[in-house]
Amino acid sequence: MTEQRIPKARPDLQGLPARPAGGARTMGNTARLNANEWAEPTSAGGYFTAAELEKLLLNRYPGPAIEIRQILARQYGVEPDQLLFGNGSADTILQLFLVFGGRGRRTLLFRPTFDLHARFTVFAGGTVADEVIGLPYELTRERALAAMERERPEIVVFTTPNNPTGTVIADDVMLAVAERFPETLVLVDEAYSDISGRTLLPALADHPNIVISKTFSKVHAAAGLRFGILIMHPDLKKIVDAVLIPFSVGVVTFALATKIARDEAGVKRRIATIRSERERVFAAMKKVEGIEPFPSEANFILFRIEGATAPAQARFLDHGIALRDMNAWIGAEGCLRVSIGTREENDRFIAALSQVFARAHA
């Protein structure tokens, strides 16, 4: 049989492994503590009446989303024209890398950190510069500025609280970088900031090179909705708007996001639940011999183990618990990550801890 020829990807993308989909790894009664989602079911039917659904017309392109823009502007303390929406935060962040990254341009990352930022750099044709902080994750102002002086990147990314460590990066670290390097785009990924109660939003007005990313995938309990937000200076937004993919958010998503954004009491309840359950799980983990959990201000806990991570992950799966193996992430070698689930799922994880690591020692 003659070998078929197919188009080739760019050389820098050839061999790039696909990132596994979060929902495809578990089945049945497995507790999905591997994707940092809100664990309790959130039904779209709970937000819409039949009459409201009748008003959602699918034959027209989406409008300017004035209502959700006004609600979020009030909540974030910014102007409506500072908000940019996309099909999940990944979509919005990718747009930044396509605009401000690219061939001959560098992105500085403080590892371990969210792996998609590195992938987006490569997608755009740029190169990644790594500053490996390691564990515990303690990024100082001096360390950040020294790395910036050395690399002189066009983009620098701060994820706070950081994924996978759950560590909050101090405001003065990020602001020092933004002030000393005004021509560098400073992306602050705040996917988990509602849980920590810390945000850099108040500093946005005085630092036009800062862009803040938000998402509805965590405390808004809407990972399946795919609704992401970028918040930036109006002049910066004009640049991004010029190359933005039009209509990347549908009318149903806008309508549902508007309903969810109004439920501020629900967000507060989820934050309180995450914090209390996280502390309970962390306290239980501290009692287990052979693991080292790291303090977190997000909805997950990173922990280092003795021995290989893949067998330990498999043993947890035998107990019906899916965790994330972080061993391949630069700076997080030898670690697993557990998301905070429902109280019952967290109880299952706590019960499995001693059994999994007792077997490992045996």
Output the CA torsion 109→115→116→117 (10° steps): 0
Residues 153/184, Cβ–Cβ less than 8 Å: yes
Which structure tokens are listed for 94? Answer: 């990718």
Domain boundaries, the chain: 22-43+265-361, 44-263
- Residue 361 has a pLDDT of 52
Q: Is the pLDDT of residue 91 over 80?
A: yes
Which structure tokens are listed for 242? Answer: 């010029």
- Residue 21 has a pLDDT of 60
Which architecture characterizes domain 44-263 according to CATH? 3-Layer(aba) Sandwich (3.40)
22-43+265-361 under CATH 3.40.50.970, yes or no:
no
Which structure tokens are listed for 109? Answer: 């990352």
Angle at 123 (CA atoms; ends 248, 33), nearest 5 degrees: 75
Per-residue pLDDT band at 105 (split at 50, 70, 90) = very high
Between CA 312 and CA 318 the distance in angstroms is: 10
pLDDT above 70: percentage of residues in the chain: 96
Per-residue pLDDT band at 15 (split at 50, 70, 90) = confident
User: pLDDT of 232-281, one tens digit each?
Assistant: 999 999 999 988 888 999 999 999 999 999 999 999 999 999 999 999 99
Per-residue pLDDT band at 22 (split at 50, 70, 90) = low
